[in-house]
Amino acid sequence: MLRDFHEQERTGEGSHGAGEEINPGIGEFEAAEDEIGGGADDAQRENNGDGGCVCAGLVEAELLKQWHGEHTAARTEQAIHDTDENAAEGREKFLLHVASMPRIGMAMRGCTMVIIRFKLRRALWGASAVAAVFALTVLGVHLAREATKEVVVEESYVVPVVLIDAGHGGEDGGAVGVDGLVEKDLNLGVALQLDWFLRALGYETVMTRCEDCDLHSEEAGNLRERKRSDIQARFAMMEALSEDDLFVSIHMNKFGQASARGTQVFYSTNLPQSAVLAESIQCSVVRLLQPNNSRQVKPSGDEIYLLYRAQRVAVLVECGFISNAAEAVLLQDEAYQRQMAFAIAVGVLDYHE
């Protein structure tokens, strides 16, 4: 019953050539391509609203400093990811994660690398902020004296945004694995953990969904229309991203051959950077979590609608096979979901270096 929903379930064997199993669901959305982008107004991300411009004719030095202080504080708060109330919980989760990694030595090195990179990133941003304060102050004093021309001051740095797409949701359960295991909840579990790690690493994040729901509009009628509306909403959120932002979709795979297992990352072919991001995430997962996984990243055709139409850097991570009994057990385990999310987050970080 849910088969029609699951627009991109494929075999992970695809990169090896044989046994490709393409779910037919996506074909029905081709007719809606012209409509894509026309809906989902609520999906527009708040971005670039008031952060970049200062009208020099109106601003004196003191006001300028005040503005920048508030701006920097807001950015810093975002980068740190969490407020004081859950900082303790965050530390506990991070330590739990490290303690539960099967390849602890490698994981510790990975954590150390991440922390160092995070600190470097923070330091760079801090340096940028100091430079920006100095430049803005000098500029403000100058302009207050002159009080003539209108000048636009651009932001000195841009925090990349990662749009995290937890696949399926609500009435769309996605793939069904061993013992009736439903995909959508596992996707959300990994996506929420990924959101946590990326924020800890200084990224801004947006999630297509944070709970068990789908994104179709009220007007959508039958099942087919609701599914089409849901995909349109996710696509509109991706369209709202800026050029440097990323789209990462989280899914679980399934295959008729129960032995198939292992993470595999698919990428959009519309921008070459998508393949780079996919490779980075695949390598990170293999290095940190699945040393025996020999799967290769794979370009997406029109069987994955969101990647096929993407005009942003876009990948889809098939975290594992819920049709494989052993991997299905792992994928349901919160600690493993956290490890998977951590490995994906490190892959995103590697992409930017």
Determine the residue with CB nearest Zn ion: 251
| Contact with Zn ion (CB under 5 A) among 167, 177, 189, 262 | 167
Closest distance to Zn ion from the beta carbon of 24 (Å): 14
Binding residues among 247-306 for Zn ion as defined by CB under 5 A = 251
Q: Are 191 and 250 in contact (CB under 8 A)?
A: yes
Closest distance to Zn ion from the beta carbon of 17 (Å): 22
Candidate ranges 62-70, 103-111, 135-143, 165-173; the one touching Zn ion (CB under 5 A): 165-173
Torsion angle of the four alpha carbons 268, 273, 276, 278, in this order, in degrees rounded to the nearest 10: -30
Quick note: the x/- pattern for Zn ion over 112-151, rule CB under 5 A, is: ----------------------------------------
| Separation between Cα atoms, residue 4 and residue 224, nearest integer Å | 9
Cα angle: 210, vertex 212, 215; to 5 degrees: 75
| Separation between Cα atoms, residue 149 and residue 147, nearest integer Å | 7
Closest distance to Zn ion from the beta carbon of 202 (Å): 29
- Which is closer to Zn ion, CB of 249 or CB of 284? 249
| Separation between Cα atoms, residue 107 and residue 104, nearest integer Å | 5
Binding residues among 168-187 for Zn ion as defined by CB under 5 A = 174
Q: Return phi, psi of residue 166, to 5°.
A: -80, 110
Using CB under 5 A, count the residues that bind Zn ion.
3
Binding residues among 224-253 for Zn ion as defined by CB under 5 A = 251
Which of 151, 191, 184 has its CA nearest to residue 170? Answer: 184
Closest distance to Zn ion from the beta carbon of 235 (Å): 16
Number of H helices, E strands in the chain: 9, 6
Quick note: the x/- pattern for Zn ion over 54-83, rule CB under 5 A, is: ------------------------------
- Which is closer to Zn ion, CB of 189 or CB of 202? 189
Closest distance to Zn ion from the beta carbon of 183 (Å): 5
Torsion angle of the four alpha carbons 223, 228, 232, 235, in this order, in degrees rounded to the nearest 10: 110
Reported as type and span, the H/E element at residue 68 is helix 61-80
Candidate ranges 62-70, 163-171, 267-275, 329-337; the one touching Zn ion (CB under 5 A): 163-171
| Separation between Cα atoms, residue 221 and residue 289, nearest integer Å | 43
Closest distance to Zn ion from the beta carbon of 19 (Å): 18
Closest distance to Zn ion from the beta carbon of 8 (Å): 6
Residues of the shown chain interacting with Zn ion in the complex, contacts defined by CB under 5 A: 167, 174, 251
